[in-house]
């Protein structure tokens, strides 16, 4: 059922209305949020897919399932940004995920943030669907601040193999996930794909993972089986495991690996070519064995620009967040 949670005067004319879709009854719902950034389309499409599925279950069109708990979906939080193809709120230039806890009497982005937090304050579970920063692609993974048994169970139930524990910063104090953690909502951020693109394969895998999660937590009953059949082993990477690979030259980046790959130390990631001569300026190689979690997609790069983030499997890796160059010049 579609339910309006906020209506404000729209500077572009008419009213700006924010909606959620809600099904079932429970005092401890599952909340799924997408579209905090207007160009993160993977999450919006995934929530569209989930909405169609839950409609079919509740309306009795799909007899294989029964909804036991309550699910609420916030499909497009940053609606004006999505319409303009922008990451940021077009009126005040604000990142919606840096507006929490918000203010009902504040700027538009603050009022929306306040409404989202108010409508999810009783949530037992929370999922935030997001994508990589512009010009990059993320392998499907979970982001979290805590590596505890609750987080690991969430990952296993979601069938996501990689969990990346983030180092908390002052910026994160004003995002939705931080406030969910403060109110003890069992929650994670799921990042997958690139901005301004929809990867149907990634979305379908995540759709099946969320269904598995709902079945495992007793939110959804599958009449064809009595328990989740899928067991996923999740690898948790700490902040110390993060290794950034940067360029030393400006030019065109030609990648030779795919995001989500397991890399070996010394394996070639790609190379930089001069835009005028076409000559190879440098080769970029992996400094460690590890999982390629983020990779540059837009090929034009500046000097000292990050190309890849690798989650190192080296136990004693201690160079947190440093830009590590591993370059073999021609």
Q: How do residues 52-94 score in pLDDT, each as one tens digit?
A: 999 999 999 999 999 999 999 999 999 888 888 888 877 777 8
Q: What is the pLDDT of residues 220-262, one digit of tens each?
A: 999 987 565 557 888 999 999 999 999 999 999 999 999 999 9
- For residues 114 and 245, membership in a common domain is answered with no
Of 190, 209, 237, which marks where a domain is finished? 237
- For residues 229 and 275, membership in a common domain is answered with no
- For residues 206 and 321, membership in a common domain is answered with no
**The domain that contains 149 carries what CATH number?**
3.40.630.10
17: region left, alpha or beta (phi > 0 left; psi from -120 to 50 alpha): beta
Token readout for 130 is 């997001």
Q: What is the pLDDT of residues 110-154, one digit of tens each?
A: 999 999 999 999 999 999 999 999 999 999 999 998 888 888 899
Counted domains in the chain:
2
pLDDT number for residue 196? 93
Nearest to residue 191, comparing CAs of 141, 153, 235? 141
pLDDT number for residue 12? 66
- For residues 270 and 228, membership in a common domain is answered with no
- For residues 258 and 204, membership in a common domain is answered with no
Of 192, 215, 237, which marks where a domain is finished? 237
More confident residue, 55 or 8: 55
- For residues 263 and 172, membership in a common domain is answered with no
- For residues 195 and 272, membership in a common domain is answered with no
Distance CA 207, CA 96 (A): 24
- For residues 158 and 99, membership in a common domain is answered with yes
Strand 306-312 relative to strand 290-296, pairing: antiparallel
pLDDT number for residue 79? 85
Question: Does the structure show a pLDDT above 90 at 168?
Answer: no
The rounded mean pLDDT for the chain is 90
Q: Please check whether residue 235 is in contact with residue 249, taking contact to mean a CB–CB distance below 8 angstroms.
A: no
Over residues 214-223, the mean pLDDT reads 95
Token readout for 166 is 């983030």
- For residues 244 and 233, membership in a common domain is answered with no
Q: What is the pLDDT of residues 14-50, one digit of tens each?
A: 788 999 999 999 889 999 999 999 999 999 999 999 9
Residue with tokens 């370059």: 327
**The domain that contains 303 carries what CATH number?**
2.40.50.100
* pLDDT category of residue 157 using cuts at 50, 70 and 90: very high
* pLDDT category of residue 327 using cuts at 50, 70 and 90: very low
- For residues 280 and 291, membership in a common domain is answered with yes
pLDDT number for residue 86? 87
Over residues 300-312, the mean pLDDT reads 96
Residue with tokens 């997609």: 297
- For residues 42 and 141, membership in a common domain is answered with yes
pLDDT number for residue 319? 37
* pLDDT category of residue 330 using cuts at 50, 70 and 90: very low
What's the gap between Cα 244 and its chain centre?
19
Question: Does the structure show a pLDDT above 60 at 324?
Answer: no
Residue with tokens 């620009």: 305
* DSSP codes joined into one string, 245-297: EE-SS-EEEEE-S-TTPEEPTT-EEEEEE-TTT--EEEEEE-SSSEEEEEEE-
Q: Please check whether residue 12 is in contact with residue 65, taking contact to mean a CB–CB distance below 8 angstroms.
A: no
Of 199, 214, 237, which marks where a domain is finished? 237
- Structural domain including 82 reads 2-237
More confident residue, 285 or 92: 285
- For residues 92 and 162, membership in a common domain is answered with yes
Query: How far, in Å, are 25, 52, 90, 184 from residue 129 at the CA level?
Result: 23, 17, 21, 19
Question: Does the structure show a pLDDT above 50 at 322?
Answer: no
């Amino acid at each position: 059922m579609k339910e309006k949670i906020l209506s404000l005067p729209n500077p572009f004319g008419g009213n700006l209305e924010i909606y959620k879709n809600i099904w079932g009854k429970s005092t401890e719902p599952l909340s799924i949020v997408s579209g905090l950034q207007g160009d993160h389309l993977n999450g919006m499409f995934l929530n569209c897919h989930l909405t169609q599925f839950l409609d079919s279950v509740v309306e009795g069109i799909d007899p294989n399932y029964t909804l036991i708990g309550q699910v609420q979906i916030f499909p497009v939080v940053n609606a004006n940004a999505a319409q303009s193809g922008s990451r940021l709120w077009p009126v005040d230039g604000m990142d919606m995920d840096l507006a929490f806890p918000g203010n009902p009497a504040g700027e538009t982005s603050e009022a929306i943030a306040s409404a989202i937090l108010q409508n999810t304050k009783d949530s037992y579970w929370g999922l935030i669907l997001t994508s990589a920063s512009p010009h990059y692609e993320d392998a499907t993974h979970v982001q979290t601040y805590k590596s505890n048994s609750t987080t690991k169970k969430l990952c296993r139930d979601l069938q996501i193999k990689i969990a990346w524990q983030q180092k908390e910063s002052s910026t994160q104090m004003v995002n939705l996930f931080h406030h969910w953690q403060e109110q003890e909502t069992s929650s994670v951020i799921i990042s997958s794909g690139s901005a301004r693109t929809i990867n149907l394969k990634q979305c379908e895998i995540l759709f099946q993972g969320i269904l598995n999660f709902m079945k495992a937590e007793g939110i959804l009953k599958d009449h064809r089986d009595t328990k989740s059949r899928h067991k996923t082993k999740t690898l948790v990477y700490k902040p110390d495991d993060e290794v950034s690979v940067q360029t030393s030259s400006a030019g065109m980046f030609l990648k030779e690996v795919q995001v989500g790959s397991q890399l070996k130390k010394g394996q070639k990631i790609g190379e930089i070519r001069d835009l005028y001569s076409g000559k190879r300026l440098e080769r970029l190689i992996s400094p460690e064995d590890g999982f390629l979690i983020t990779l540059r997609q837009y090929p034009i790069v500046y000097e000292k620009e990050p190309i890849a983030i690798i989650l190192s499997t080296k136990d004693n890796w201690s160079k947190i967040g440093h830009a590590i160059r591993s370059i073999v010049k021609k």
